[in-house]
């Protein structure tokens, strides 16, 4: 239940760089979360992993009438979500996703969390197993400002997407957009749609396989599915 990305991106871009007004349709949530929300159909079964204070999940429940569930590692985040009336449990993406059955959700969301997991490859494989589609967003460590910071200062960069100094950061597996596309190819995950965002959260029309996306985009949003599921279904042994 993923809406067409081209229409979503066009609508998203028209919101403008400095629009801070929250209306009844979008709510006051981050730009990348608004983009993700527009990609999810009303009434979908959704699992939001690393849901934080429940901003996206609450928006989806209120405005899309989704059957929404959440998983959050921090107790404070769980408490905030429960206080909003959301169905959220405390859990770890590295350990607690395996218990979900195959195809349990229409959409599984992992926003700005993949780089904090201990086994991101395994997490990706699990996401496309338990969900018909997975929507992943992450900061692009190949962004040109990060490259220049490393080149001129020789120190790990700090930004609004990577706000922690290296000795306190939860981000243990940072990657570039090209790294992400390569691992999806390697483990047989289909990239159905992708969009790259600038430092203001506005979408670029760039091919994620190309060098420009890896250089200019500060973050990426990808819609994934398990391409091997169809192969498994058709490759039955002869009777």
pLDDT at 149 over 50: yes
pLDDT on residue 21:
33
Q: What percent of the chain has pLDDT over 70?
A: 84
Mean pLDDT value of segment 42-49? 97
CB count within 10 Å of CB 182 equals 13
pLDDT on residue 208:
79
pLDDT on residue 1:
57
pLDDT at 60 over 70: yes
The token pair that represents 69 in the structure block = 């569930």
pLDDT on residue 108:
98
Q: Between these two residues, 27 and 42, which has the higher pLDDT value?
A: 42
Mean pLDDT value of segment 145-165? 92
- Three-state DSSP class for residue 32: helix
pLDDT at 143 over 50: yes
pLDDT on residue 210:
82
Q: Is it true that domain 5-14+27-234 has CATH number 3.40.50.150?
A: yes
Mean pLDDT value of segment 214-233? 80
pLDDT tens figures, 196-221: 998 888 888 788 788 889 999 999 99
The number of residues making up the chain comes to 239
| CA atoms of 25 and 147, how far apart (whole Å) | 37
pLDDT on residue 9:
40
Q: Are 97 and 127 in contact (CB under 8 A)?
A: yes
Q: Are 181 and 208 in contact (CB under 8 A)?
A: yes
- Residue 3: which pLDDT band, with cuts at 50, 70 and 90? low
| CA atoms of 230 and 125, how far apart (whole Å) | 15
pLDDT at 81 over 70: yes
Residues ≥6 apart with Cβ < 8 Å to 34: 12, 15, 26, 27
- State the pTM of this model: 0.82
pLDDT on residue 44:
97
Torsion of CA 35, 64, 57, 38, to 10 degrees: -10
pLDDT tens figures, 169-204: 989 999 999 999 999 999 999 999 999 998 888 888
- Residue 160: which pLDDT band, with cuts at 50, 70 and 90? confident
Any idea where the domains of the chain sit in the sequence?
5-14+27-234
pLDDT tens figures, 93-136: 999 999 999 999 999 999 999 999 999 999 999 999 999 999 99
| CA atoms of 61 and 75, how far apart (whole Å) | 21
pLDDT on residue 228:
57
| CA atoms of 41 and 174, how far apart (whole Å) | 30
Q: Are 37 and 56 in contact (CB under 8 A)?
A: yes
């Amino acid at each position: 239940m993923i809406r067409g990305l081209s229409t979503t991106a066009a609508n998203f871009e028209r919101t403008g760089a400095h629009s801070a007004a929250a209306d009844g349709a979008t709510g006051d949530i981050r730009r990348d979360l608004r983009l993700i929300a527009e990609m999810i159909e009303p009434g979908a079964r959704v699992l939001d992993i690393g849901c934080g204070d429940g901003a996206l999940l609450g928006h989806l429940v209120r405005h899309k009438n989704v059957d929404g569930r959440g998983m959050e590692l921090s107790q404070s985040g769980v408490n905030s979500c429960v206080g909003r009336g959301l169905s959220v449990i405390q859990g770890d993406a590295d350990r607690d996703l395996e218990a979900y059955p195959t195809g349990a959700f229409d959409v599984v969301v992992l926003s700005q969390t993949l780089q904090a997991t201990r086994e991101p490859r395994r997490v990706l494989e699990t996401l496309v197993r338990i969900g018909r589609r997975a929507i992943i967003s992450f900061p692009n460590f190949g962004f040109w400002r990060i490259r220049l910071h490393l080149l001129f200062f020789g120190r790990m960069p700090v930004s609004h997407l990577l706000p922690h100094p290296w000795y306190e950061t939860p981000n243990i597996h940072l990657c570039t957009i090209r790294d992400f596309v390569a691992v999806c190819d390697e483990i047989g995950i289909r990239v159905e749609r992708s969009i790259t965002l600038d430092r203001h959260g506005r979408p670029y029309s760039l091919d994620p396989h190309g060098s420009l996306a890896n250089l200019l985009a500060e973050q990426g949003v990808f819609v994934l599915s398990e391409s091997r599921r169809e192969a498994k279904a058709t490759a039955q042994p002869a009777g």
